[in-house]
Amino acid sequence: MADGSTQARATWAAPASAAVAGEDRAAEARHIGARRVFRSRGVWMGSAILAGVLAMAVGAPWLTGYDPMRVDVANRLLAPSAAHFFGTDEFGRDVYSLTLYGSRISLVVGASVMLLTSIAGVVMGLLAGYFRSLENLLMRIADGLMAFPAIVLAIAFMASLGPRVSNIIIALTIVYMPRTARITYGAVLVARELSYVEAARAAGARDVRVAFLHILPNCLAPLVVQGTFIFAYAVLAEATLSFLGVGAPPYIPSWGNVINAGGKLITEAPWIALFPAMAITVTGLGLNLLGDALHDALDPRLRGLERPR
């Protein structure tokens, strides 16, 4: 049963030396993981960047005096100045305000997609991994959905559902859910063979209890890492869909929409696209730093290879 690939996956859930260890050993591994997370520089840097973006989104009304939707044709295409930090667009809207308010769409889409893919993916993965009768059906559906290039599937769903922010969340959740399901499924396959799960079952615990209370906690580390990356993909994908004109409706100040409008005026007013693009890049950087650092901190296989500080 314990072939090479199973062993490799087992190290996600518990240290290799404790592949057949009890639940307290797994809990200890989680404790060590948590300590490493708090000591990681990348985790702090990534979190700091994200906190900054979150502050932008929440504090937007206090950080700018301009309404992002207010059209002011007399002041169109103004270069950055003290009155308009990031200049104005073709309708005279303040690009600084558009960038601040745009972070709301990106964060809402990113966080919702992360949360929904985690819930739906975990349920799908647990069902497929724990109930063998569902295994084939659910995993073949996941394979089929993963066979599409991600952005193409998202575009396809947006074509049918229509350009709305809620639809972007639905489309991206369907696109990324199978990835979370696959990770959960892999972890469950390993965990269901471990002796403490067998013990829980022998003690008369019901399937749902075993799946959610005994198996799920040991799949959390890879899921947290995956969730962070899905957040990053979703922010970028939302911007891409909106840029292509199939994401958020054009009147909503999302970063992709502003860049789309700014792209057409790149020769006359390059600042319109510049600042939202920088915002996307910085947000992506924060999430990727966080994801990479969590991955290094939570994956026991990398413990011996820690970089010298």
Identity (one letter) of the amino acid at 179?
R
Task: Calculate the CA 97 to chain-centre distance.
Answer: 25
Examine residue 267 and tell whether it contacts other proteins (CB under 8 A): yes
Examine residue 4 and tell whether it contacts other proteins (CB under 8 A): yes
Give whichever of 196 and 247 is closer to other proteins, judged by the CB atom: 247
Examine residue 307 and tell whether it contacts other proteins (CB under 8 A): yes
Query: What CA–CA distance (Å, rounded) separates 64 from 95?
Result: 11
Closest CA to 231 of 188, 277, 162, 280: 280
Closest CA to 21 of 204, 203, 299, 218: 218
Closest CA to 132 of 178, 181, 182, 185: 185
Burial label, 246 (beta-carbon count in 10 A; 0-12, 13-18, 19+): buried
Identity (one letter) of the amino acid at 309?
R
Query: What CA–CA distance (Å, rounded) separates 96 from 261?
Result: 15
Examine residue 59 and tell whether it contacts other proteins (CB under 8 A): no
**Which of 2, 5, 8, 195 lies at the binding interface for other proteins (CB under 8 A)?**
5
Burial label, 305 (beta-carbon count in 10 A; 0-12, 13-18, 19+): exposed
Stretch that binds other proteins, among 7-15, 179-187, 214-222, 259-267 (CB under 8 A): 259-267
**Which of 6, 47, 75, 288 lies at the binding interface for other proteins (CB under 8 A)?**
288
Give whichever of 116 and 153 is closer to other proteins, judged by the CB atom: 153
Please state the closest distance from residue 210 (CB atom) to other proteins, in A: 29
- Residue 30 CB partners (closer than 8 Å, separation 6+): 217, 218, 220, 221
Examine residue 149 and tell whether it contacts other proteins (CB under 8 A): yes
Give whichever of 59 and 249 is closer to other proteins, judged by the CB atom: 249
Can you read off the two tokens belonging to residue 264? 């057409």
Give whichever of 11 and 218 is closer to other proteins, judged by the CB atom: 11
Examine residue 147 and tell whether it contacts other proteins (CB under 8 A): yes
Examine residue 308 and tell whether it contacts other proteins (CB under 8 A): yes
**Which of 14, 60, 220, 277 lies at the binding interface for other proteins (CB under 8 A)?**
277
Please state the closest distance from residue 111 (CB atom) to other proteins, in A: 18
Stretch that binds other proteins, among 71-79, 107-115, 146-154, 187-195 (CB under 8 A): 146-154
Closest CA to 234 of 82, 74, 118: 118
Site for other proteins, rule CB under 8 A: 4-5, 140-141, 143-145, 147-153, 155-162, 232, 236, 239-240, 243-246, 259, 262-263, 266-267, 270, 273, 277, 280-282, 284-285, 288-289, 292, 307-308
